[in-house]
Amino acid sequence: MQLTAIFETWHFGDGNYPPLQQNELVNLSFELQPNSLSKCSPDIGRFEQIEDANYRFNGTVLKIYGDLPRHPLVIVQAGNFKFYMDSFSKEVSDLKEGDGCTGSGCLMLDYYIWVEFRETYRDTPNLLYPLRVTRIRSVKIPDEMVSRFGNTSSGPTSLCGPSYPPIAVTEVTRMTDAEESWQFYLVDLDDSDIGGDPVPQTFGTSSV
């Protein structure tokens, strides 16, 4: 399995993840932020890369945890890959366990909502995947997408698909947790060369 996921730099300040480096072994869970989503007939499913962290999928809803304060947490299996969604339009708010669904969106690292609280969910599927970091790219968010007001600024914390020009992308071998305005990382991951030893969960190890 090969994946590309978005790593937003606010994870450093929140203590979610440490800076990753090339060839490091990690154990991660993932969120998909859909930009399109609809019901379909359940089938064996697929999870296909469009470009970088942008994917299309067909899948089956495994679990729905609807007692969260903001949104239901929807666990989907798409082929051999499982992820969660917790942000989508009201048009598909009637998804039920066992339903088929199809859509596209951005693959992100789990920001905490599954990995931190998985012990509290009933019969939760395992969404953790042991993987090796094979490539890291730093992406600078274009200045025209950032609004500045005196000493403050606002803008997107990441971009998906063709929203960033090639000139904004820089190959790196290690992330840095130094304060760097308006950038994010694209992380390529692979499970083909991880050995047989258990890989510790990566979330929450930033202080180690």
pLDDT tens for each residue of 103-144: 999 999 999 999 998 888 889 999 999 999 999 999 988 777
Count: domains in the chain: 1
Predicted local distance difference test score (pLDDT) of residue 2: 95
Q: Is residue 89 part of a domain?
A: yes
Q: Is residue 36 part of a domain?
A: yes
How is residue 133 written in tokens? 């970091």
Separation of alpha carbons 125 and 184, rounded Å: 29
Q: Is residue 1 part of a domain?
A: no
Q: Burial level of 165, CB count in 10 A (0-12/13-18/19+)?
A: exposed
Q: Of 142, 138, 116, nearest to 201 (Cα)?
A: 116
Contact 33, 42 (CB under 8 A): no
Q: Which amino acid is at 52?
A: D
- CB proximity list for 155: less than 8 A, separation 6 or greater: 141, 145, 146, 147, 182
Q: Is residue 107 part of a domain?
A: yes
Q: Which stretches of the chain score pLDDT less than 70?
A: 67-70, 88-93, 178-180, 206-208
Predicted local distance difference test score (pLDDT) of residue 208: 44
Predicted local distance difference test score (pLDDT) of residue 29: 97
